């Protein structure tokens, strides 16, 4: 009787160990694979074919500077802006993954009187005021060589955010040259 109880405990321990080993192995194998599945009906988190084509044609690295103030205060407005900025970061990560190493993302937190705030102003990112009077920056600067484009990221243009970023990348890659006419 005791032998049967010991055998049951031993088999149970071996079974639990085997399941734990399988789970650890599965996690190790799947952690190396970076697959993201977009299950939304309108494919909100998947880049459009046009954007992917723009990114495939890049031959020079493009730097995206993402400015987002990370306030330590927790008001409903700052919580909303933090979740929105997280969605922007996710989209920028999609750009980076599809850019085949040609998209470089730099995230900056422009707090008052900081170097990041000076960079944001230099790049043309507009300062917004929160309801408490606190300054807040949320924007993107797209740079390649000497060309620079600024993308404002207001929450009411979230659906057009991919278009705005792709357009800015296209404008820095293919800058329009000024047309000069000569009249004689």
Distance CA 184, CA 181 (A): 10
CA distances (Å), origin 123, targets 48, 73, 148: 27, 26, 8
The pTM score is 0.73
* Residue 63 confidence (pLDDT): 94
Contacts for 177 with CB less than 8 Å, ≥ 6 apart: none
Pairing of strands 103-108, 62-68: parallel
* Residue 2 confidence (pLDDT): 66
For residue 148, give both structure tokens: 């620079």
Distance CA 134, CA 23 (A): 47
Q: Taking the chain (184 residues) in consecutive chunks of 10 residues, what is each chunk's mean pLDDT?
A: 78 92 89 71 78 91 91 77 88 90 91 86 86 84 90 88 92 83 81
Size of the chain in residues: 184
């Amino acid at each position: 009787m005791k032998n049967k109880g010991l055998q049951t405990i031993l088999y149970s321990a071996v079974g639990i160990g085997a399941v734990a080993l399988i789970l650890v192995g599965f996690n190790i194998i799947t952690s190396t694979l970076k697959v993201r599945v977009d299950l939304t009906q309108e494919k909100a988190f998947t880049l459009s074919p046009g954007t992917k084509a723009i990114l495939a044609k890049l031959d020079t690295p493009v730097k995206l500077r993402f400015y987002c103030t990370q306030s330590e205060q927790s008001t409903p407005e700052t919580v909303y802006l933090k979740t929105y900025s997280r969605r922007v970061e996710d989209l920028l990560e999609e750009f980076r993954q599809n850019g085949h190493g040609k998209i470089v993302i730099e995230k900056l937190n422009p707090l008052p009187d900081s170097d990041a705030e000076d960079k944001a102003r230099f790049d043309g990112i507009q300062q917004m005021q929160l309801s408490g009077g606190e300054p807040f920056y949320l924007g993107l600067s797209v740079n390649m060589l000497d060309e620079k484009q600024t993308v404002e990221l207001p929450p009411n243009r979230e659906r057009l955010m991919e278009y705005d970023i792709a357009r800015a990348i296209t404008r820095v890659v293919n800058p329009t040259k000024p047309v000069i006419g000569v009249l004689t």
